Amino acid sequence: MGFLRKTALAATAALTTRQQGNEAEDWALAHLEAAGLRLLERNYRTPGRGGGEIDLILRDCDGTLVFVEVRRRGSAAFGGAGASIQPAKQRRIVFAARHYLLRLRSPPPCRFDVVLVQDGIEWLQGAFDAG
Protein backbone atom coordinates (compact mmCIF):
# COMPACT_ATOMS: atom_id res chain seq x y z
CA MET A 1 0.00 0.00 0.00
CA GLY A 2 2.88 2.36 0.78
CA PHE A 3 4.25 1.97 -2.77
CA LEU A 4 0.98 3.05 -4.39
CA ARG A 5 0.74 6.06 -2.11
CA LYS A 6 4.30 7.16 -2.92
CA THR A 7 3.62 6.73 -6.64
CA ALA A 8 0.49 8.88 -6.43
CA LEU A 9 2.41 11.57 -4.55
CA ALA A 10 5.18 11.53 -7.16
CA ALA A 11 2.64 11.88 -9.99
CA THR A 12 1.05 14.85 -8.22
CA ALA A 13 4.45 16.51 -7.75
CA ALA A 14 5.33 15.95 -11.43
CA LEU A 15 2.05 17.48 -12.53
CA THR A 16 2.68 20.49 -10.33
CA THR A 17 6.14 20.92 -11.86
CA ARG A 18 4.65 20.65 -15.34
CA GLN A 19 2.02 23.25 -14.47
CA GLN A 20 4.74 25.56 -13.19
CA GLY A 21 6.65 25.11 -16.43
CA ASN A 22 3.56 25.86 -18.50
CA GLU A 23 2.92 28.97 -16.42
CA ALA A 24 6.50 30.17 -16.99
CA GLU A 25 6.10 29.57 -20.74
CA ASP A 26 2.84 31.56 -20.71
CA TRP A 27 4.59 34.50 -19.00
CA ALA A 28 7.56 34.30 -21.38
CA LEU A 29 5.28 34.14 -24.41
CA ALA A 30 3.28 37.17 -23.26
CA HIS A 31 6.54 39.08 -22.75
CA LEU A 32 7.87 38.16 -26.20
CA GLU A 33 4.59 38.89 -27.99
CA ALA A 34 4.46 42.29 -26.28
CA ALA A 35 7.91 42.90 -27.80
CA GLY A 36 6.52 42.16 -31.28
CA LEU A 37 7.43 38.50 -31.80
CA ARG A 38 4.85 36.12 -33.27
CA LEU A 39 4.37 32.55 -32.04
CA LEU A 40 4.85 29.78 -34.63
CA GLU A 41 5.15 26.65 -32.46
CA ARG A 42 5.01 25.72 -28.79
CA ASN A 43 6.71 22.68 -27.26
CA TYR A 44 8.14 21.44 -30.57
CA ARG A 45 9.61 17.95 -30.13
CA THR A 46 11.68 15.80 -32.43
CA PRO A 47 10.31 12.30 -32.97
CA GLY A 48 11.81 9.36 -31.13
CA ARG A 49 13.89 9.10 -28.02
CA GLY A 50 16.99 11.13 -27.40
CA GLY A 51 15.83 14.07 -29.45
CA GLY A 52 15.20 17.57 -28.31
CA GLU A 53 12.42 19.94 -27.44
CA ILE A 54 12.02 23.67 -27.98
CA ASP A 55 9.70 25.53 -25.65
CA LEU A 56 8.77 28.34 -28.05
CA ILE A 57 9.49 29.06 -31.71
CA LEU A 58 8.70 32.62 -32.77
CA ARG A 59 9.30 34.98 -35.66
CA ASP A 60 10.87 38.35 -34.85
CA CYS A 61 9.79 41.55 -36.60
CA ASP A 62 12.84 41.38 -38.91
CA GLY A 63 11.99 37.82 -40.03
CA THR A 64 14.49 36.07 -37.75
CA LEU A 65 13.35 32.69 -36.48
CA VAL A 66 13.78 32.63 -32.70
CA PHE A 67 14.13 29.36 -30.77
CA VAL A 68 13.40 30.03 -27.10
CA GLU A 69 14.23 28.01 -24.00
CA VAL A 70 12.23 29.05 -20.94
CA ARG A 71 13.71 28.40 -17.51
CA ARG A 72 12.05 28.91 -14.17
CA ARG A 73 13.67 28.65 -10.78
CA GLY A 74 12.28 29.62 -7.42
CA SER A 75 15.58 30.94 -6.16
CA ALA A 76 19.10 31.81 -7.22
CA ALA A 77 20.47 28.76 -5.38
CA PHE A 78 22.83 26.67 -7.52
CA GLY A 79 23.21 29.53 -9.99
CA GLY A 80 19.54 30.21 -10.66
CA ALA A 81 17.58 29.63 -13.83
CA GLY A 82 20.37 30.60 -16.23
CA ALA A 83 22.86 28.13 -14.80
CA SER A 84 20.48 25.26 -15.52
CA ILE A 85 21.07 25.46 -19.28
CA GLN A 86 24.14 23.29 -19.60
CA PRO A 87 25.95 22.53 -22.91
CA ALA A 88 24.14 19.18 -23.21
CA LYS A 89 20.77 20.94 -23.05
CA GLN A 90 21.96 23.49 -25.62
CA ARG A 91 22.96 20.64 -27.96
CA ARG A 92 19.48 19.08 -27.67
CA ILE A 93 17.86 22.44 -28.45
CA VAL A 94 20.13 22.94 -31.48
CA PHE A 95 19.34 19.38 -32.64
CA ALA A 96 15.61 20.10 -32.44
CA ALA A 97 16.07 23.44 -34.23
CA ARG A 98 17.91 21.74 -37.10
CA HIS A 99 15.11 19.20 -37.33
CA TYR A 100 12.55 22.02 -37.45
CA LEU A 101 14.51 23.88 -40.14
CA LEU A 102 14.45 20.82 -42.42
CA ARG A 103 10.72 21.48 -42.87
CA LEU A 104 11.35 24.90 -44.38
CA ARG A 105 12.19 25.50 -48.04
CA SER A 106 14.30 28.55 -47.37
CA PRO A 107 15.37 28.79 -43.71
CA PRO A 108 15.57 32.38 -42.44
CA PRO A 109 18.25 33.72 -40.10
CA CYS A 110 17.92 32.12 -36.66
CA ARG A 111 18.93 32.76 -33.09
CA PHE A 112 18.69 31.00 -29.75
CA ASP A 113 17.20 33.01 -26.90
CA VAL A 114 16.60 32.15 -23.27
CA VAL A 115 13.88 33.60 -21.07
CA LEU A 116 14.59 33.32 -17.36
CA VAL A 117 11.61 33.46 -15.04
CA GLN A 118 12.94 34.13 -11.56
CA ASP A 119 11.99 37.25 -9.60
CA GLY A 120 10.67 38.70 -12.87
CA ILE A 121 11.44 37.97 -16.51
CA GLU A 122 14.86 38.30 -18.10
CA TRP A 123 15.15 37.85 -21.89
CA LEU A 124 18.61 36.88 -23.13
CA GLN A 125 18.73 37.35 -26.90
CA GLY A 126 21.36 35.29 -28.70
CA ALA A 127 22.12 33.41 -25.47
CA PHE A 128 24.01 30.67 -27.34
CA ASP A 129 24.68 29.61 -30.91
CA ALA A 130 24.51 26.43 -32.95
CA GLY A 131 28.30 26.05 -33.03
For the stretch 77-110, pLDDT in tens is 545 445 567 888 899 999 999 999 999 999 999 9
> Residues 21-62: pLDDT tens digits?
889 999 999 999 999 999 999 999 998 777 789 999 999 999
Distance CA 128, CA 111 (A): 8
Cβ-count burial 72-99 (b if 16+ within 10 Å, e if not) = bbeeeeeebbeeebeeeebebbbbbbeb
Give bridge partners of residue 59 from the DSSP assignment.
Answer: 38, 65
- Residue 126 CB burial class (10 angstroms; 0-12, 13-18, ≥19): exposed
CATH number at residue 35: 3.40.1350.10
CA-based nearest residue to 90, from 128, 122, 125, 49? 128
Residue-level pLDDT at 26:
95
Could you tell me the pTM of the whole model? 0.81
Distance CA 1, CA 110 (A): 52
Distance CA 72, CA 23 (A): 9
Work out the pLDDT band at 14, boundaries 50, 70, 90.
low
Which range is most confident: 3-12, 70-79, 95-104? 95-104
Task: Look up residue 36 and give its DSSP letter.
Answer: T
Number of domains in the chain: 1
Residue-level pLDDT at 99:
94
Work out the pLDDT band at 16, boundaries 50, 70, 90.
confident
Residue 76 has pLDDT above 60, yes or no: no
Residue-level pLDDT at 9:
45
Domain enclosing residue 53, as ranges: 2-128
